[in-house]
Each structure stands twice: as structure tokens, then as C-alpha cells.
């Protein structure tokens, strides 16, 4: 299982990170460890990757992804990180072994930097945040 967090800046743009070990970009987060809850895993990953110790907000979405070559099926939980204040953005310290950079991008423009499934997930979870709801997704597509 994976867990990530959507953070936004004052302009409403979403924070993406550029991993050194794979392409393309991602949202802050990663694999949940054994006996760790998705929320705790998201918090740990954000602390490790960005140097920010922030409690994730509410669950925005849960995305089931189908198996593919070399990977089993999985679940990804996405939490609301809220709007980062300028001083929080300035306090970001990237874990150099994992990340080469970060950027705030428009939610719709994020698709140019993300895998299609993650782009769909980010867009659906951002909409869910705007509407105060949680979404269930399959491969990034919203399901009723």
C-alpha cells in the first residue's frame, strides 16, 4: 500500500516532487511499512522527503491500481495536506538521496509531469478536496 499527501500553495497549486530513482514526478509520499497505518506512513514519508512534520488531514481518495508487469495490484491513499504557508514552503528540505527537486504546479498542468494514472488521481483528489468529499478510484478513474 502507498500513501501520499496533496499540499497546496497560496495560489492553489499542488506540490510535486522529482525522485532521483525513477521518472516521472510524484506527490510526496511512498510505501506504507508493515504495521503502519496509511496516515502514519504518509506523515513519515513527508518528514523524510521534505523535512516537514505535519499531520495529514482528511482522506481525499483511495485508488485501487491493477497489477502490471513486475508489480502486484495495490492501493494508494491520498490525504489532504492543506495549504502551506510561505514559511512552511521555505522550510522544505529535500532528502537528497530520494529527491532532486520540487515544484508547485497547477492541478491541470500536473498531468505533463505525472504518469497518467497519478495525474488522474491528483485531479480527482483535488476536486474531492474542493467539494469536501472523499473519492474511490480505480486506476485513477472515479467510481460511484
Domains and CATH numbers, the chain: 2-143 (3.90.79.10)
Count of residues in the chain: 144
- pLDDT recorded at residue 93: 98
- pLDDT recorded at residue 28: 98
Rounded Cα distance between 141 and 124, Å, is 8
Rounded Cα distance between 3 and 8, Å, is 17
Buried b (16+ CB within 10 A) or exposed e, 79-91: bbbbebeeebbee
**One pLDDT digit (tens) per residue for the chain, 144 residues:** 999 999 999 999 999 999 999 889 999 999 999 999 999 999 999 999 999 999 999 999 999 999 888 888 999 999 999 999 999 999 999 999 999 999 999 999 999 999 999 999 999 999 999 999 999 999 999 997
- pLDDT recorded at residue 68: 82
Does the pTM of the predicted model rise above 0.75? yes
- pLDDT recorded at residue 144: 77
* Contact by Cβ (8 Å): 122, 14: yes
- pLDDT recorded at residue 70: 81
Amino acid at each position: 500500500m502507498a500513501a501520499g499527501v496533496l499540499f497546496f500553495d497560496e495560489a492553489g497549486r499542488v506540490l510535486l516532487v522529482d525522485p532521483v530513482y525513477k521518472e516521472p514526478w510524484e506527490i510526496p509520499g511512498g510505501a506504507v511499512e508493515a504495521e503502519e497505518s496509511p496516515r502514519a506512513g504518509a506523515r513519515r514519508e513527508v518528514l523524510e522527503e521534505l523535512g516537514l512534520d505535519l499531520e495529514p488531514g482528511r482522506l481525499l481518495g483511495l485508488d485501487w491500481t491493477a497489477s502490471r508487469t513486475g508489480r502486484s495490484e495495490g492501493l494508494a491513499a491520498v490525504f489532504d495536506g492543506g495549504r502551506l504557508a510561505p514559511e512552511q514552503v521555505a522550510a522544505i528540505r529535500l532528502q537528497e538521496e530520494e529527491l532532486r527537486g520540487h515544484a508547485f504546479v497547477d492541478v491541470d498542468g500536473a498531468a505533463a509531469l505525472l504518469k497518467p494514472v497519478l495525474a488522474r488521481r491528483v485531479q480527482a483528489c483535488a476536486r474531492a478536496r474542493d467539494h469536501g468529499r472523499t473519492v474511490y478510484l480505480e486506476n485513477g478513474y472515479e467510481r460511484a
